[in-house]
Amino acid sequence: MSPPTPSFLLFFSLFAIALSFADSQSFVGVNYGQTADNLPPPEATAKLLQSTTIGKVRIYGADPAIIKSLANSGIGIVIGAANNDVPSLASDPNAATQWINTNVLPYYPASNITLITVGNEVLNSGDEGLVSQLMPAIRNVQTALSSVKLGGKVKVTTVHSMAVLAQSDPPSSRVV
């Protein structure tokens, strides 16, 4: 058997280095709905979540009681700006800054807010005005996070229904 070639050694070394930088995480996450009767108080729900292997929770909105109840739990929290917040977040960077000042800064880092969703299934809302405001709103929220040095710590995205995948071939057919 011949010794490995220099190009093989280079490839293998680069591959090993790339693997060492890979950020793979596996976790179980849940959606925390708040529209129901007889919901337990947030503290009880937080205790229940901590007793499991659940690593992330998405809340619909940014309820302070829920965010506070998850403080120091190690559970990643996804909070959301509602569809009716999108127009002001898109048109006024100060509105995005105020949203961050109200819904993130009082709780972070004790509450492990990892992600902000801007809008909920906006692309399927049928409201073209709202759809056109989605990206500017996301940009303004991201800029507001960056201005308080959280740009790399808290991510910003939006929520889509599976319907956005209904027509996926060719890929350009789903451009909105």
Summarize pLDDT for 117-136 with one digit per residue, the tens: 999 988 888 889 989 999 99
Tokens of 110: 């004790």
How far apart, in whole angstroms, are the C-alpha atoms of residue 10 and residue 96? Answer: 47
Read off the DSSP letter of residue 152.
Answer: T
pLDDT digits (tens, 9 = 90+) for 68-108: 999 999 999 999 999 999 999 999 999 999 999 999 999 99
**HSE-CB for 120 with a 13 A CA cutoff:** 12
List strands edge to edge, sheet with 113-120.
28-32, 54-59, 76-81, 113-120, 155-159
CB 146 within 8 A of CB 86: no
CB 114 within 8 A of CB 77: yes
Sketch out the chain's domains with CATH numbers: 29-174 (3.20.20.80)
